[in-house]
Structure 1
Amino acid sequence: MTQTNKDILTILGTSIKLGESKEVNFDVANLHTSTSVNVPVIVERAKKSGPTVLFTAGIHGDEVNGVEIVRQLIAKGINKPKRGTIICMPVINVFGFINLKREFPDGRDLNRVFPGTPTGSLASRVAYKLTHDIIPHVDIIIDFHTGGSGRFNAPQLRFSKENTKLNDLAKAFGAPFVLYSKNLSKSFRTTCYKLGKSLLLFEGGKSFHIDDIVTNSGVNGCKRILKHLGMLNINFKAYAPKKNCVFIDESRWKRAKYSGMFKASVKIGDHVEKRDILGNITDPYGKFNYSVKAENSGYIINVNESPIVYQGDALFHISTKLH
Structure 2
Amino acid sequence: MTQVNDSVLHILGETVNLGESKEVNFDVANLHTSSPVNIPVIIERSAKPGPTVLFTAGIHGDEVNGVEIVRQLIAKGINKPKIGTIICMPVINIFGFINLKREFPDGRDLNRVFPGSPNGSLAGRVAHKLIHEIIPHVDLIIDFHTGGSGRFNAPQLRFIKENRELNSLAKVFGAPFVLYSKNVNKSFRTTCYKLGKPLLLFEGGKSFHIDDVVTNSGVNGSKRVLKHLGMLKSNFKASNPKKECIFINDSKWQRAKYSGMFRASITIGSLIKKHDVLGNITDPYGKFNYVVKASNAGYIINVNESPIVYQGDALFHITTKLKR
TM-score, normalized by the shorter chain, greater than 0.5: yes
In the alignment, is residue 254 of structure 1 matched against residue 254 of structure 2?
A: yes
Q: CA RMSD of the aligned region, Å?
A: 0.7
The secondary structure found in structure 2 opposite 1:179 is: strand
- The correspondence of residues 51-200 of structure 1 with structure 2, limited to 5 A, is 51-200=51-200
- The correspondence of residues 260-299 of structure 1 with structure 2, limited to 5 A, is 260-299=260-299
- The correspondence of residues 226-265 of structure 1 with structure 2, limited to 5 A, is 226-265=226-265
The secondary structure found in structure 1 opposite 2:172 is: helix
2:305 maps to: 305
Residue identity opposite 1:11 in structure 2? I
CA distance in 1, matches of 2:140, 2:132: 15
CA distance in 1, matches of 2:7, 2:60: 33
Kept in 1, the 8 Å contact 2:6–2:137? The answer is no
Cα distance per residue 1:35-83 (max 9 Å; x no partner) = 0000000000001111000000000000000000000000000000000
Cα distance per residue 1:201-251 (max 9 Å; x no partner) = 000000000000100000000000000111001110000010000000000
The secondary structure found in structure 2 opposite 1:204 is: strand
The secondary structure found in structure 1 opposite 2:162 is: coil
Task: Specify every segment of 5 or more residues in structure 1 that has no aligned partner in the other structure, as ranges.
Answer: none
TM-score by length of 2: 0.98
**How many residues are paired up?**
319
The secondary structure found in structure 2 opposite 1:165 is: helix
TM-score by length of 1: 0.98
- The correspondence of residues 28-47 of structure 1 with structure 2, limited to 5 A, is 28-47=28-47
User: Deviation of residue 149 (structure 1)?
Assistant: 1.8
User: Deviation of residue 162 (structure 1)?
Assistant: 1.8
Residue identity opposite 2:252 in structure 1? R
CA distance in 2, matches of 1:149, 1:220: 25
Residue identity opposite 1:129 in structure 2? K
The secondary structure found in structure 1 opposite 2:164 is: coil
The secondary structure found in structure 2 opposite 1:74 is: helix
CA distance in 2, matches of 1:241, 1:253: 27
CA distance in 2, matches of 1:308, 1:25: 42
The secondary structure found in structure 2 opposite 1:230 is: coil
Extract structure 1 runs of 4+ deviating beyond 4 A. Answer: none
Residue identity opposite 2:196 in structure 1? G
The secondary structure found in structure 1 opposite 2:236 is: coil
Task: Specify every segment of 5 or more residues in structure 2 that has no aligned partner in the other structure, as ranges.
Answer: none
2:225 maps to: 225
User: Deviation of residue 164 (structure 1)?
Assistant: 2.1
CA distance in 2, matches of 1:315, 1:110: 26
User: Deviation of residue 6 (structure 1)?
Assistant: 4.0
The secondary structure found in structure 1 opposite 2:170 is: helix
User: Deviation of residue 163 (structure 1)?
Assistant: 1.6
CA distance in 2, matches of 1:164, 1:7: 28
User: Deviation of residue 142 (structure 1)?
Assistant: 0.3
How much identity, in percent, do the aligned residues show?
82
1:210 maps to: 210
The secondary structure found in structure 2 opposite 1:280 is: strand
CA distance in 1, matches of 2:81, 2:249: 34
